[in-house]
Structure 1
């Protein structure tokens, strides 16, 4: 028998369920472009909340992630896909370990 979820666990589960439902809706309406736009909106909202909470380091952190992503795209366009492949492998590993939706 499993114990009932705490209010915090229910809240996290509800948030994760909502994210998954909204992502599915975005994919249904606009495909992968919709998925990307959904995650950009969610991320922008979270960045704003973190800044208001005094965690301003989120802005340079996001900037670094964007610069890394652009660099990987540029290298791949130049014919060297190693950075892109490593970035995608690392992203998948992190998401498998830490994203409850996997």
Structure 2
């Protein structure tokens, strides 16, 4: 029974506000980070997820706070394009990552 109770708790938590990206729920923040990691891989950048940041193999840390705020303003079906545009800009050769 503990296993089922744990899964229900985890499922419920996915709908709570994310403590680090308050514009999104926990589940939405997880989706943002996974989507950003997958897209960065497509651009040739290996990355890991640390907390609510994407850390590239070269050591750059891409914070997701401003991107989360942008995503909160559009329907989830449009997130892929917003994530792609943001990462295209931030990962362009010679780009200096600032707030995004």
**TM superposition score normalised by structure 1:** 0.30
Higher strand share: 2
Q: TM-score scaled by structure 2?
A: 0.30
Greater relative CO, 1 or 2 (CA 8 Å, sep 6+): 2
